[in-house]
Structures are given as structure tokens and as C-alpha cells.
Structure 1
Amino acid sequence: IVWRREQTMSTDWLGYGYAMLVGTGGIIGYVKAGSVPSLAAGLLFGGLAGAGAYQLSQDPHNIWLSLAASGVLSAVMGMRFYNSGKLMPAGLIAGVSLLMVGRLGMKMLNKPHQP
């Protein structure tokens, strides 16, 4: 008989919140400045982050989509913040994305060892 420990699935609320922040930022950029690229990027990366949060909620080891989305956003928005010096929106999204990368990196390091 093989005994398995039941894994409790926990919802990645921080991931979903991050996805909503990114998507909302794209919508606000479109409404305030008429920026179609902001809308497209916000919805694309917000959708990817939301899908990554769903995957992470289903399997705590499946961090790759979330890590890719937040990693790309931290790099791109970090460069925009560096070049413009504007905290909104580039600095905010770069900072929050960098925090998500750190959080996901910690999840990767703290994986329980499989027997």
C-alpha cells in the first residue's frame, strides 16, 4: 500500500491581485492617454499573470508562467523607470513585478523534496 499525503490547494491571491493591477494599469493608460500599446501590454501581461496565478493555485510547483510574466515586466518597466524617472506607472509596476519575482524565487527555493 502506498500512502500519499493530500495536498491542500491554496489560491494564489497575491498572484491574482498582481494580475489585476497590471491589467488595470493598461486600461488606465488607455483611458488617460489613449495609449493602445499600454492597453494591449496591460491586458496581455495581466492575462498571463492571471493564468500563472491559476496554475500556481492548482500546483504549487508550477511557477514558470508567473515567473516569466513578472520577470519580463520587471525588466521592461525597470528600464522605462530608469530612463524616465517617473514613478507612475513604470516605477510602480517595476517594483511590484520585482517583488513577485522575489516571491516566486523563494517558492522555488523552498520546494519540499520529493521522496
Structure 2
Amino acid sequence: MAVDWIGFSYAALVSAGGVMGYVKAGSITSLAAGLLFGLLAAVGTYLASQNPKNVWLSLGTSGTLAVVMGLRFLSSWKFMPAGLMTLASGLLLVKIISGMLKRSHKS
């Protein structure tokens, strides 16, 4: 199976966002959440790379981040970091769901 560079890049972006939240604001919560969700995104991407039907962890991780960061964006209207993470998570959701739909039409 091919490596999903988009998924691994997303995982790195999430982790880097948590580290940046800690560096800029001293937020341990941002660091912990960023590293946890980055790890979940990386594991989900790895599992989906091994078996294309195993997308549930990636779907749950990106869906959760899209909702949580989307609500933060709507309350603050600041693109960084909430808007960027909402956009990235939404795009990954579209990628995952379109892949699921393509596979279901082939079966």
C-alpha cells in the first residue's frame, strides 16, 4: 500500500500546533491535546495505509478536531490556529469520505 503523505502531514501539523501553543502561550493543555490528536491522526493514517477500509480512527480524529476547532473559530473569528485547523480537518474529512464513497461504488 502507498504511504498517505497527506494524512501524515496532517498529523504533523496537529502536533506542531500543540507545540506552538505551548511555546507561545505556555499552554500545557494545547501541548497535550496537540500531541495526543497528532498521535491518533498518525496511527489512523498508518492503519488506513495498511487496510484502506480501516479509516475510522482517522475519520473520528479529524471529525472531532473539525468540530472543536470550528466552534473555537466561530467564537473568535481568528484564523490562527482555530481556522487553520478547521480548514485542514475539513479537507481531510472530505478526502476520507470521498475515498470511502469510491470504494463503496467499486464493490
Alignment of 1:34-113 (within 5 A): 34-111=26-103, 112-113=106-107
The aligned amino acid for 1:22 is V
Separation of aligned partners in 2, 1:103 and 1:37: 28
Could you tell me which runs of 5 or more consecutive residues in structure 1 were left unpaired when the two chains were aligned. 1-8
| Length-normalised TM-score, structure 2 | 0.96
Q: Percent identity?
A: 54
Separation of aligned partners in 2, 1:55 and 1:79: 28
Larger radius of gyration: 1
Pairing 1:19–2:11 present: yes
State how many pairs are aligned: 105
Runs of 4+, deviation exceeding 2 Å:
none
Instruction: Identify which of 12, 28, 52 aligns with 2:20.
Output: 28
Higher helix share: 2
Could you tell me which runs of 5 or more consecutive residues in structure 2 were left unpaired when the two chains were aligned. none
